[in-house]
Structure 1
């Protein structure tokens, strides 16, 4: 039998670790394991070592430790893990945090915000155990790298996890919050088609990112429905960044047959598209129409103001906090995947294509 198969079920499935699981792994009785957990001295040193090793392996945290942490802190707290890169300048994250803080104040919980590196750099079991011992009631991840090992470790420590529009596809039973990415992309593309555009390109986000791929499929569905060509195998992947939008749009607009419209997977990347058009001497929207995705402050402050898909980012933040609090109280989420509705906001970056490109 291999090592994984020989471990208790809680270690393999992510179910909360019990004292019985600790005792089974250490090869002792539950009474003996309880003595070690409660600091009793009437246990042989070798036996104590076996139990302590099982506790460390399984990430077991006793109810007494949790209660002591909560009493010391005087409040319930949630760990919020975010990508550190340009976090203070990220309009999506700023809007999300605003909504999350509103819900935290209403529900009387504290949000502890930490960069993703604090989770990824440590062994999952150790990380999860320390969070439980610190009195956390759950973890919200707003990151690009979902980890089943982290989720399993949290489960063993008795802590729920909620993912926010994860770039990687999590397990189907992992609670996640996001927006209607496909519908938003479809509506954006239909808007451009109705204006008369026929050559509409899509600039996506990180390669393989679930939300970007789904947006790409929404674009492709609208194109196919109108009898237009769309290649979903080439979604111009890159970061949801200004730099990627600038680079991808420059390549498209300097090609032999440049598009008359570009749908972009984020407002930040759309700013790069607007800059590429400016550098190349193209007027938006007279020569090129541009649609973004997010409806952050960037869309309202750009020149011209950006037509974009509004996703309720603040509401996503509020929903994530409400969900993790509900799960931490032992309640069941009505659905594992929550998608909040998007809608198109038409501003000044879209218009009919140039007369010589209409057909």
Structure 2
């Protein structure tokens, strides 16, 4: 149920198990440690409650940590994200911070977790000696976070797509400011017909970027329709399809701002196929500043977000939570800035859309 998914869940204790099974804590302890003196029916009832509530004892977790010999963090991601340069840059920073902290990372595809058995997954994570989970996925799951809280493990989200509850720690970048600066750059060059190509529908980070673009356009006296922004997964294919449609309109844009570098690469390819020269006929701006921006033709003007630092911060934050430290803030945003390269220029005097409001 929705209410169950969103309410805060505390860690399950041995007392909770004892009350649910209608036995003493001593009896629960005997069952968990495999000791004698407990009837078969009672033992089975306690084991059922342990599975149902997702209880993992401190001794189980500490024993696993001793066997593993180091703190291990589980990282959840979408399988298709492996091809996105954002992920490789993020993991590079996360691995570096983990090494500096004598910790390790284990990457798991989120698709391997059956939502019907979130508690079982969380129990297996705790019993394997993990100290917490970093989630880098397309959809935040309150069920997964609740399951982790039940077994006493923290979760940290990275630029979450959905809006998590305020108490959930999350790391990201100044998406609004970065998008505003990108649009302002294009406006300062003289562009007025500037379209935005977005990311996953209802993605929180992309909604913020779209609003940053719209705010800059509005400040310049240009009305835009955020609802008309083409939205799909950040990908080369989405950038290609969306830009092709925009450039084939009767009133094509003189500039396109894409919500990611990989989408911007698709924009550049659409322009190439249509014989539109960049930046003479079309200026293009991306977001991320991955290696794609430097190696594209022409090199891409883009919003730099400190992706490796986000990875480092996610790991350090998770380790602090695992150690029981309090966070000064639950939301950390690292600063962005615009990197100007060769994909942007003033609109061509021959472009009929130049100066059009």
TM-score by shorter chain over 0.5: yes
Separation (CA, whole Å) in 2 of partners of 1:214 and 1:145 = 16
Separation (CA, whole Å) in 2 of partners of 1:288 and 1:120 = 45
Q: Counterpart in 2 of 1:326?
A: 320
Q: Residue 139 of structure 1 contacts residue 160 of structure 1 at CA under 8 Å; is this kept in 2?
A: yes
Q: Counterpart in 2 of 1:49?
A: 44
Could you list the runs of 5+ residues in structure 1 that have no partner in the other structure? 6-10
Of the candidates 184, 196, 199, which is equivalent to residue 202 of structure 1? 196
The size of the alignment, in residue pairs, is: 351
Q: Residue 115 of structure 2 contacts residue 143 of structure 2 at CA under 8 Å; is this kept in 1?
A: no
SS of residue paired to 2:76: strand
1:140–1:120 Cα change, 3 Å: farther
Counterparts of residues 135-154 of structure 1 (less than 5 Å): 135-154=129-148
Q: Counterpart in 2 of 1:71?
A: 66
Could you list the runs of 5+ residues in structure 2 that have no partner in the other structure? none
Separation (CA, whole Å) in 1 of partners of 2:202 and 2:114 = 20
Q: Counterpart in 1 of 2:57?
A: 62
Q: Provide Cα deviations, 1:61-87, integer angstroms capped at 9, x if missing partner.
A: 111111211111111111111111151
1:120–1:288 Cα change, 3 Å: farther
Q: Provide Cα deviations, 1:92-121, integer angstroms capped at 9, x if missing partner.
A: 000000000010000000111111122346
In the alignment, is residue 358 of structure 1 matched against residue 341 of structure 2? no
In the alignment, is residue 308 of structure 1 matched against residue 302 of structure 2? yes
Separation (CA, whole Å) in 1 of partners of 2:170 and 2:114 = 19
Q: Which runs of 4+ in 1 moved over 6 A?
A: none
Counterparts of residues 119-138 of structure 1 (less than 5 Å): 119-120=113-114, 123-138=117-132
Q: Residue 14 of structure 1 contacts residue 154 of structure 1 at CA under 8 Å; is this kept in 2?
A: no
SS of residue paired to 2:298: coil
In the alignment, is residue 118 of structure 1 matched against residue 112 of structure 2? yes
TM-score (norm 1): 0.95
Q: Residue 81 of structure 2 contacts residue 87 of structure 2 at CA under 8 Å; is this kept in 1?
A: no
Counterparts of residues 192-231 of structure 1 (less than 5 Å): 192-231=186-225
Separation (CA, whole Å) in 2 of partners of 1:255 and 1:310 = 30
TM-score (norm 2): 0.96
